[in-house]
Structure formats: C-alpha cells, structure tokens
Amino acid sequence: MKGLFITLEGGDGAGKSTQIANITKFFEERGFVVVHTREPGGTPIGEKLRDILLDRENSEMTAVTEMLIYAASRAQHVGEKIIPALERGEIVICDRFVDSSIAYQAGGRELGGMVAEVNRYATGGLTPDITFWMDIDPEAGRARASKAGELDRLEVEKLDFHYRVYEGYRKISESDPDRVKRIDATRSVEEISEEILGYIDKLLAKQNA
C-alpha cells in the first residue's frame, strides 16, 4: 500500500489535536507506521520558523512576509519529512497544510490568489488524500483556545479576521468536497471521531479495491 496523507484543518479551539490522536491510534492498532506532524513546523528548520510566525512580539510582520515564511516552512516540511514518509508507505497525519494558508493568508489577510501560487512551488503540487475541516464558529473556538493557554500572534487577531478565515475554509470545502470533509466540531469527541474514522475506512477500502 502506498502512503496516505491526511490533514486536519480549522480555526482555534476546533479540537484537531484530540482527533489526530484518535486517528493515530486507529492506524497504529492496525499495524501501520504513522508520522504525526504539524504546520508551521514539523522539521528543525520549520520549528524555528514557527517560533517567528507565532511570537506575539512580531506584531509588525507584514502579510506577505507571513505568507512567505509559512511557505518556506512548508517547503522544508514536504521535502524533508512528508514525501519521504509517503514513499515509505507510511501514514502522514498533519495538523494544518496548504488549506491553512489559503484560509489565513488569502482569506484572513486578503492576499488572494498569490497564496495558492506560492504554495504550489513550496509543495511541488502535493495534495492530501483527505482533509477534515473541523468546523466551529470563530467566537466559540477562541473561547476554547483561551482556556487552553496564552494565545499566539494569530490567535489574538480581531474576530473579523477570524471570520474571514472561517469563510476561506468554507469556500475550500465547497470547492473540493471529494477531498475536504466538513466536520461539525461542536459535537462530542466520540461523535466526531466516529464520523472521521468512517471516512477513513471508506478511503482505505477504495485504495485496496
């Protein structure tokens, strides 16, 4: 079996980490090798860039600078970690990928089509096999995130920014429904997990057909 590339997307407080843990357990119990990673970050270079991106002291960072740093981290991530794992037949589960840049930089920062173009170069056109968009209202998500700890540079942005991000995700899910599965993240952990694992079962069955 070739490797699988699974991504989870969504705003702050959507519950991605919990579901990533559940997906990881699902595959490991079936004997798969799982690579759990995140963006920005995922590699030593990427983690250094993550610190720059999320540091609240970097409030003067321009939107284009932000976009390019995300893309640089992603290019390293794809080349160093994701593609080698997929070529080994492993399951790569990534917390955020290109869809985040489309939602946050193209949508939230209103940079438009240049974001997709830059990321085509950064990824070499790599696309996830399936993406789960954890859909939660930005205000509710921020309330959850605030309880979890101090907010980072993007999390502290005004709500209108986060509603533009949300709209970006909505457009992505509507434009690519075969890949992007909208998941109602307001439900219980168990209900969400059952739906996600159902989609994964179907994906595995299709791949093995």
Alpha-carbon separation of residue 107 from 115, 117, 137, 190 (angstroms): 10, 14, 16, 31
Q: In this predicted structure, what is the pLDDT of residue 172?
A: 98
Per-residue confidence (pLDDT) for residue 143, from 0 to 100: 80
Instruction: Note the pLDDT of residue 11.
Output: 87
Question: Would the pTM count as exceeding 0.75?
Answer: yes
H or E stretch at 7: strand 4-10
Joined together, the tokens standing for residue 95 give: 């917390």
Q: Domains in the chain: how many in total?
A: 1
72 burial class (0-12, 13-18, 19+ CB within 10 angstroms)? Answer: middle
CB-based burial of residue 153 (10 Å sphere; 0-12 exposed, 13-18 middle, 19+ buried)?
middle
Domain that residue 35 falls in = 4-208
Q: What is the pLDDT of residue 97?
A: 98
* pLDDT at residue 1, rounded to an integer: 57
Q: Could you tell me the mean pLDDT of each successive run of 10 residues in the chain, 209 residues long?
A: 91 91 97 97 98 95 98 98 97 98 97 97 97 94 75 87 96 97 96 98 88
- List the CATH number of the domain containing 23: 3.40.50.300
pLDDT (tens digit, 9 = 90+) per residue, 145-157?
Answer: 776 667 889 888 8
In this prediction, residue 85 carries a pLDDT of 98
The pLDDT of residue 142: 80
